Amino acid sequence: MELTSSSHTSFAAGLSLVAYPIGECLFTAFAFVSRDWLNLKWLTSAYFLLTVPYLYFIPESPYWLLSRKKYDQLENALRKIAKTNGREETEWYRDYTKLIEDSIVSKKINNA
């Protein structure tokens, strides 16, 4: 959801809701085609192996990076997002530094 633009968020949410039923249909189709549990195991393993490289291309969530206090990685991720969206650094960097300061202050307050 975080990787989609605001105009596509509802579509992405709907797609995530139908992912499980589609997976069940695919599994049923695999089972019908294979007719043997060992072949079914190999078919599903091959399917999942095809999805593993996709994980390399998905960036970490900015919210997750902020919650884990990985500020350098967060800044790099935000720079990449801003570049993709055609934004200048002056448009977002001030808000980013305020967000980091607020995060540090709230941590100090919660630990006190």
* pLDDT tens, residue order, the chain (112 aa): 566 777 778 888 888 899 889 989 988 988 888 888 898 889 888 888 988 888 888 888 888 888 888 889 988 988 888 887 788 888 888 888 888 888 776 766 666 5
pLDDT for 30 equals 84
Shared domain check, 41 and 18 = yes
**Does 1 fall in a domain?**
no
**Does 43 fall in a domain?**
yes
Boundaries of domain holding 73 = 62-111
Shared domain check, 84 and 47 = no
DSSP string for residues in 32-65: HHH-SHHHHHHHHHHHHHHHHHHHHHSPPPHHHH
pLDDT for 24 equals 92
* Number of separate domains in the chain: 2
Shared domain check, 77 and 51 = no
Q: For residues 66 and 103, is the Cβ–Cβ distance under 8 A? A: yes
Shared domain check, 66 and 53 = no
**Does 96 fall in a domain?**
yes
Considering the entire predicted model, what is its pTM? 0.57
